[in-house]
């Protein structure tokens, strides 16, 4: 642990004190689900748990606040994000995790940064957190088991497909990173 890195228990305590209750409960369920997915996929459950714990640390911030922080943290804001600043809570959250919670593990930070949009080439930790966020029991009543990395990839692809369909149905723009992730997952499946 580096000098400004916080113990997981301290991060947990601070988030519990600072975050709205509903949001903290979602985070807690996502953390449990992430560990549950990580183990059969042979991914470090501690890394997945830490990323899940911090993934929504900025989800309660207002749109102007997210936009201001993005500027302060030198995050490039795309047109889609300018239109829908809530999409910035991942990139801003990753920077908060680094600055305020002392997280240095780039894989953990990357999983936080891209947990909403995904990205092509996302790490296994990133995929675990992406899926856990969308399938924690508060969001999805029936959850199918993930028993391997290839099942994890298929489950993530299913989530991206669902997102694309919802965006089309509601005439919402689709984040380019989500499209890139979908194409990458399809390619990876074809190579299996
Ligand atoms: Fe989120
Ligand atoms: Fe979340």
**Separation of 61 CA from ligand 1 center, angstroms?**
11
Closest ligand (CA of 115): 1
Closest ligand (CA of 26): 2
Report whether 85 contacts 67 (CB < 8 A): yes
**Separation of 55 CA from ligand 1 center, angstroms?**
6
Q: Give CA–CA dist 153/150, Å, rounded.
A: 5
CA 103 to chain centre: 15
Structural domains present in the chain? 8-191 (1.10.3210.10)
pLDDT tens digit sequence for 145-182: 899 999 999 999 999 999 999 999 999 999 999 999 99
What pLDDT score was predicted for residue 84? 93
**Separation of 163 CA from ligand 1 center, angstroms?**
14
pLDDT tens digit sequence for 93-149: 999 999 999 999 999 999 999 999 999 999 999 999 999 999 999 988 677 789 999
**Separation of 191 CA from ligand 1 center, angstroms?**
30
**Separation of 70 CA from ligand 1 center, angstroms?**
16
Residue 4 pLDDT grade (very low, low, confident, very high; cuts 50, 70, 90): low
Tell me: pLDDT of 2 over 70: no
pLDDT tens digit sequence for 14-39: 999 999 999 999 999 999 999 999 99
pLDDT tens digit sequence for 51-91: 999 999 999 999 999 999 999 999 999 999 999 999 999 99
pTM as predicted: 0.95
């Amino acid at each position: 642990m580096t000098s400004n890195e916080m113990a997981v228990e301290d991060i947990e305590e601070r988030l519990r004190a600072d975050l709205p209750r509903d949001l903290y409960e979602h985070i807690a369920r996502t953390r449990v689900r992430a560990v549950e997915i990580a183990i059969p996929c042979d991914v470090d459950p501690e890394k997945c748990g830490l990323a899940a714990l911090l993934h929504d640390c900025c989800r309660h911030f207002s749109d102007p606040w997210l936009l201001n922080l993005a500027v302060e943290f030198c995050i490039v804001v795309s047109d889609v994000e300018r239109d829908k600043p809530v999409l910035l809570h991942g990139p801003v959250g990753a920077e908060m995790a680094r600055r305020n919670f002392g997280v240095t593990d780039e894989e953990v930070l990357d999983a936080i940064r891209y947990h909403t949009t995904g990205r092509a080439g996302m790490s296994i930790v990133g995929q675990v957190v992406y899926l856990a966020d969308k399938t924690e029991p508060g969001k999805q009543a029936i959850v199918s088991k993930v028993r391997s990395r290839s099942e994890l990839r298929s489950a993530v692809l299913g989530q991206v497909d669902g997102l694309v369909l919802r965006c089309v149905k509601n005439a919402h723009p689709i984040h380019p990173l989500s499209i890139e992730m979908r194409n990458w997952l399809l390619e990876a499946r074809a190579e299996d």
